[in-house]
Structure 1
Amino acid sequence: MAKNNLTTVTNFILMGFMDHPKLEIPLFLVFLSFYLVTLLGNVGMIMLIQVDVKLHTPIMYFFLSHLSLLDACYTSVITPQILATLATGKMVISYGHCAAHFFLFTICAGTECFLLAVMAYDHCVAICNPLLYTVAMNPRLCWSLVVGAYVCGVSGAILRTTCTFTLSFCEDNQINFFFCDLPPLLKLACSDTANIEIVIIFFGNFVILANASVILISYLLIIKTILKVKSSGGRAKTFSTCASHITAVALFFGTLTFMYLRSGSGKSLEEDKVVSVFYTVVIPMLNPLIYSLRNEDIKDAFRKVTRRLQVSLSM
């Protein structure tokens, strides 16, 4: 249908994967499995950090528990919508539901950007100033950094949601996507999106570059400190504490940059679908694995909890 100003849209139709109807059942099972594993991994990580006293310090586990909380919320905003779309072939949602969905999803994504930068700063202080770590990263500062990350995430979500939903949506209400994301909404708008895109891209660039700069500076200082360590074993051990975070940062920022900061001429909604699945479904599932597989403290805590459960069940 042609875009015009005759009728204002009151609901949207999520088209999901209608181009591949034979894949809907297999994809439903795959996404359901991913969702259950993601919830189990992230909620399990939060509970493990809460019950094991050894994981109350260093402060990195405090930040990690908030990362797990964000990932659990992140995937709970997106994946049920994907499952519903796959189960019904396509799904009708109201304009308000779409805006709320977009707002919550944007809060999670924005806050995670800032939290990953905070975690890089925490690693930097721990490695560069180990003797002053507990003083520098005191509970008050840590809570301030986490609250600041959430405030920045909410502020960004308000800006992006306001900009996006002040656009006019007319006759054409079919979203060629499986949730209300920015690229398909911009393509659907019947008003001029040039100014809105400039604001959103500028803000997106600022958020990504500001957080990437904090992460880059933190790791440059970490590398400088590591190079001063005389033993190769000491250097490897120090660097291994950062490997999980570097992996998480590369995956998250890499997909966000590809999704939102490409030029309009190079964009394809089919590519966007694949990339959005990766950062909304796959990365939240991988993060608990990334942080647990390379962390001896978390593996030890998991083994202790497992042994306690085995003893309880055998009694």
Structure 2
Amino acid sequence: MAARIGNINRRHDGWRRRFISERYLWLMALPGLLYFLIYKYVPLMGVVIAFQKYKPVQGFLRSDWVGLDNFRRIFDTPEIEKYFINTAIISCYQIVFAFTVPIVIAIMLNEIRSAAFKKIAQTLLYLPHFLSWVVVAGIFYLLFQSDGQINHLLVSWGLHPINILSNKDNFRAMLVLQVIWKESGWGTIIYLAALTGIPPELYEAAKMDGAGRLRQIYHITLPGIRSTILILFILRLGSVLDVGFEQIYLMLNASVSDVGEVLDTYVYRMGVVNGDFSFTTAVGLLKGLVGMMLIVTANRLARAFGERGVY
């Protein structure tokens, strides 16, 4: 018993000395830790209202407990199925196109030999990331509305004007194109960093063996960033039911609501506008559970095939 207490005391002394020696690093990390604590972990206590008939005047402690009634209501609400399908379709489009475009751009930038042109291209590609979705939506409205600049240009060329903003067939594609334009340049940063870790000797050996650019990309570049692609893909699956509330809410209109209304906009309408907090919290919690299950499943599959995975 005395030996066990002595081991515990030595372990505590070791942690204390390590903390003192790394105090400046902990001080630098403090703002980030506070951010996650205040805005990520403390709000988790609000999940309890998913199991209550929550009323703001009664608060968490005095609201009536209803168990899983709010979750049963999700499956009994017919319109939820439509919003779930819309969310899944838009998310699949984003994964297939918006997720892969940064990989292609990073490989293309890596192949550029002119350092000056490469820096200019990177800067131009990064800039849209710093625009808010309000600005992006405003730009698209000015360009593509019925009397916008694009239609004025088409009419001046003797062509018929096009209808994009209120066309159901084009709405989802427009959302994905917006994401690609705004976020693809920023998404290349991680892949470019991963590309710098590939030994140059591999490319030199491939050139001596007669491999061209495409074969070098296929046999060296892509395998070199495969683990990075896989990790980011697994993390992306965690937010598969989050397709961007701000973007869709700003672009949504009555003409495209059948294909554009998603779970996030439905939660906003039912929770914030109509005040049904318990039901919408249950929807949000269910979304998080689906994302967690996808991450765990994808991570296990990755490790089963010999990849590193997220954890």
* TM-score, normalization by structure 1: 0.29
* TM-score, normalization by structure 2: 0.29
Higher relative contact order (CA 8 A, sep 6+): 1
Say which one has the larger Rg. 2
